[in-house]
A and B are shown apart, each in its own frame.
Chain A
Amino acid sequence: DAMVIQNPRYQVTQFGKPVTLSCSQTLNHNVMYWYQQKSSQAPKLLFHYYDKDFNNEADTPDNFQSRRPNTSFCFLDIRSPGLGDAAMYLCATSRVNSPLHFGNGTRLTVT
């Protein structure tokens, strides 16, 4: 059974049109992460939550926001998607100092 679930698997949005990607987990892990991954490259960390504490990477554009309303759910909001934001977005969870459990990602296309 999937333990980190991302919806939708594929998302198409228009240039400049806000989009929200969602992630849920059944592992009760206290840390949740959002990564951006472009073709055959390593995942790039955008931000993470340690419980309710939000931690933004220094080079994450302001265009990207996140919400974590409770332990199980985390959302990635892209306020004004550009063509360069087309990528696979991966959600992951973990306990502190433990390996990551990834979802299967949401492939975002910007037209």
Chain B
Amino acid sequence: TQLLEQSPQFLSIQEGENLTVYCNSSSVFSSLQWYRQEPGEGPVLLVTVVTGGEVKKLKRLTFQFGDARKDSSLHITAAQPGDTGLYLCAGAFSGSARQLTFGSGTQLTVLP
């Protein structure tokens, strides 16, 4: 059973469009991280959200942590081809070195 569900699984859009990726769980996390992975490389951390209701912005990317700390969203404004990649959310439980539960991933393709 997938603890963290991401949707959509695949997304192909034109340059300049907006999009939102969702990450949902029935579990409460101490924090949630978003990673982006480009082909042939390892995932790279984009942001960590910790507080319920928290919103963080990273240029054209807006991340929100749900009030109950069970879900999160990533919104990209005016997508660029450089945004193409696999977006992964990962939930963390405090006090555990095992730490992260990864979501199922969203493969985003931004067409020029």
Q: Which residues of A contact B (CB under 8 A)?
A: 4, 31, 40-43, 45, 48, 50, 55, 90, 92, 94, 96-97, 99-105, 107
Q: A92-B42, A102-B42, A104-B42 are in contact. Are A50 and B88 (CB under 8 A)?
A: no
Residue of A nearest to B105 (CB): A42
Q: A41-B105, A42-B104 are in contact. Are A55 and B41 (CB under 8 A)?
A: no
Contact B102 A42 (CB under 8 A): yes
Distance between Cα atoms of A92 and B99 in the complex (Å):
12
List chain A residues, Cβ under 8 A from B40: 104-105, 107
Please give me the 9 A-B residue pairs with the lowest Cβ-Cβ distance, nearest first: A102-B42, A50-B97, A42-B102, A99-B45, A42-B105, A40-B107, A104-B42, A104-B41, A102-B43
Distance between Cα atoms of A96 and B30 in the complex (Å):
13
